[in-house]
Structure 1
Amino acid sequence: MLCGTGAARAQTAAEGLRPAQLGIVINEDDPHSVEVGEFYRQSRQVPEQNVVRVRIPNHPRKLDAEQFNQLRDQINAKLGPQVEAVLMVWTAPYAVECNAITAAYTLGLDVGMCSQPCGPGKPSKYFNAAISRPYTQLGMRLSMLLPTESVEQAKALISRGMAGGFAMPTATAFYLTTSETARNSRASLFPPAGVVASRKLTIKRLSADSIENEKNIMVYQTGMARVDKLDTLQFLPGALADSLTSFGGDLLGSSQMSSLRWLEAGATASYGTVSEPCNYWQKFPHPVVLLRHYLAGATAIEAYWRSVAWPAQGVFIGEPLAAPYRQH
């Protein structure tokens, strides 16, 4: 059953992450981070005591282990036990050694992965878990980046996240098996085509390299180094979208399509890897797990984190509290 058990569904919907449980990390050396971070805090009414201000000069894309450890300790020292998740308000840094910064923060830095980035990752205890308080129960503070390259786009992203959830939309989830065979390693995990009537969601599985001129998109998952025709699409508030490719998490890189393009196209959250992961499906969002938890009322940060079995190399980006299927 796609939505899972009634008990898990009720727990997720009733106890999903709330603004008072979110910490916000602002980089005071980045004026965009300062402006967007305060806009987010006010928009979501996150308590001022949950805000941590740090200094990261020069917008580095990657931190070394020592720099990251200092940053992590500074963040954790200022957060109270009520904070279950953290939003880092900046685009860069997004990597720590070969790890993504969100994974390094939430799970701890896995330096061993850097000698074998194409090897298996360490399993996440939060994968597919019906746990409402990851820090209290597992000692894991979930984390996500809110990109700030454009203040206008960042504020629009926040507004989309907040708009999702006021009324359940009629929506479509697209799952594409593409011509790039190596990037289809999770295609067998796509949910079956059909309709989830209780959520007004139509699931479509296609053999295609892209979709065009589609509206009311809530989920778009594919496997392409570059995804075409994004400018023709209309995503719904709260939409999730990602591609199984090696360097989507290299947010400011150019070798493949950055995951930022999904947010610019109108999605509300996404995911990508910052170093060569090879095509283990476990290093990318599991389609059924992601959809099941999201439809059950989880926030974007909870659903995305629950969907990745080995997340060390993957960076989660977007508006963490978006929850279009939460029952208010």
Structure 2
Amino acid sequence: MRNLICFSLALAAAAAAPVHADAPPAATAVPSAEALGLQPSQLAIVINDAEPNSVEVGEYYRQVHGIPAANVAHVSIPNRPRKLSMDQFAQLKERIDSQLKPGIQAVLMVWSAPYAVECNSITSAYTLGYDAGQCNKSCDPGKPSRYYNSKVTQPYTQLGMRLSMLLPIDFAEEAKAVADRGAVRNFSPPPANAYYLTTSDAARSSRAQLFPPAGTLAQRKLTVKQLKADSLEGAQDIMIYQTGIARVDKLETLRFLPGALADHLTSFGGDLRGSTQMSSQRWLEAGATASYGTVSEPCSYWQKFPHPGLLLRSYLAGNTALEAYWGSVMWPAQGLFIGDPLAAPYANFRR
């Protein structure tokens, strides 16, 4: 119980702490956009004109979230390659960046492939720059992200980093459903559970030591549960589900709440077209709103995966899925961030 109280106090402090020394006092009637973090007006949507689903879903996402039409960038990537070379990616990034306004803080790529740049994920290559060193030895430690566990609210303005996420669009209606779930915000979240599973797979359970303490966070109406099991069955109130195993069973029995985050620590969850392990895209198909997985062999460093405590604290403090996920991964070069970046079921607590 003492650990839960400490976590609750840390959560309250994170939600209340000013981001800048010269930030306005808490009594300010209308918070600035900076104080509120990522806004729809600061997100760019990148559409692949060579793919009809990308065009359809990109426009749907723009309308659902009220994103200005001027924030849409267009590229053409024929034949849906899984992986880009460094040179191909450099040309793609130049094409995207040339269409973005200075105030854009983050980017959503609306396609299922490409999702990798050599051994890097496309989201990390875009946000951090291509890391050739990681590809020389993919099992080596990674380079720390400056955004990890930070209080930065404007990553491009403050750090020169545009955070990025990918929205898979193999099936247009499923992708639209992800956007619909992510657009549910500014309401009082229902009672929910955060599930943390320590599985029989010891290597893939390397994050178990980082799981938040079990108990209830009354103000957020969220209960943290730690389980020793290989899968969760029948839960109907999921806001967070984190585990470690190559394939997660019984997803069809679960109900994820709007804005739910879910991921599994395994080597190739970010290989969206792979078949040797479960793709992180399966989480979105099961009803989650955002997820994460690595595109190349990372070995079981927890630093290459979302830190459970940091992810939960950031999300409950009102940050978006994009901010919470990016802020929870210390070494993200190989990690692919997928889903709806603007999902923020606890956004009211940020105000």
Same-fold status (TM-score > 0.5): yes
What is the aligned counterpart of 1:254 among 272, 275, 279?
Answer: 275
Secondary structure of the residue that 1:163 maps to in structure 2? coil
Unmatched runs of 5 consecutive residues or more in structure 2:
1-5, 20-30
Secondary structure of the residue that 1:215 maps to in structure 2? coil
TM-fit CA distance, 1:5: 6.0
Partner of 1:2: 7
Say yes or no: does 1:54 pair with 2:75: yes
The alpha-carbon distance between structure 1 residues 16 and 139, as it changes in their structure 2 partners (threshold 3 A), is same
What is the aligned counterpart of 1:146 among 163, 167, 174?
Answer: 167
RMSD after superposition: 1.3
TM-fit CA distance, 1:2: 2.8
What is the aligned counterpart of 2:197 among 176, 186, 197?
Answer: 176
Partner of 2:254: 233
How many residues align structurally?
Answer: 328
Partner of 1:85: 106
Task: Check the 8 A contact 2:243/2:264 in 1, yes or no.
Answer: yes
Partner Cα distance (1:196, 1:42) in 2: 34
Secondary structure of the residue that 1:195 maps to in structure 2? strand
Say yes or no: does 1:202 pair with 2:220: no
Q: Percent identity?
A: 66
Partner Cα distance (2:70, 2:175) in 1: 23
TM-fit CA distance, 1:8: 3.5
Partner Cα distance (2:240, 2:322) in 1: 15
Partner Cα distance (2:42, 2:92) in 1: 20
Partner of 2:294: 273
Say yes or no: does 1:37 pair with 2:58: yes
Partner Cα distance (1:8, 1:142) in 2: 20
Moved more, 161-170 or 11-20: 11-20
What amino acid maps onto 2:137 in structure 1?
Answer: Q
Partner Cα distance (1:167, 1:237) in 2: 12
Task: Check the 8 A contact 2:11/2:317 in 1, yes or no.
Answer: no
Partner Cα distance (2:245, 2:184) in 1: 29
What amino acid maps onto 2:264 in structure 1?
Answer: S
Partner Cα distance (1:287, 1:169) in 2: 21
Say yes or no: does 1:213 pair with 2:234: yes
Partner of 1:115: 136
TM-fit CA distance, 1:34: 0.3
What amino acid maps onto 1:126 in structure 2?
Answer: Y
TM-fit CA distance, 1:49: 1.2
TM-fit CA distance, 1:167: 2.2
Partner Cα distance (1:229, 1:78) in 2: 43
Task: Check the 8 A contact 1:171/1:218 in 2, yes or no.
Answer: yes
The superposition leaves residues 54-96 of structure 1 with CA deviations (integer Å, 9 ceiling, x where unpaired) of 0000000000000000001111111111100000000100000
TM-fit CA distance, 1:125: 0.4
Partner of 1:159: 180
Task: Check the 8 A contact 2:11/2:316 in 1, yes or no.
Answer: no
Moved more, 11-20 or 185-194: 11-20
What amino acid maps onto 1:257 in structure 2?
Answer: M
Partner of 2:330: 309
TM-fit CA distance, 1:165: 4.0
Task: Check the 8 A contact 2:325/2:337 in 1, yes or no.
Answer: yes
Moved more, 158-167 or 312-321: 158-167
Partner Cα distance (2:36, 2:283) in 1: 28
What is the aligned counterpart of 2:264 among 240, 243, 247?
Answer: 243
Scaled by the length of structure 2, what TM-score is found?
Answer: 0.91
Partner Cα distance (2:236, 2:266) in 1: 24
Secondary structure of the residue that 2:44 maps to in structure 1? strand
What amino acid maps onto 2:238 in structure 1?
Answer: I
Task: Check the 8 A contact 1:165/1:322 in 2, yes or no.
Answer: no
Moved more, 157-166 or 58-67: 157-166
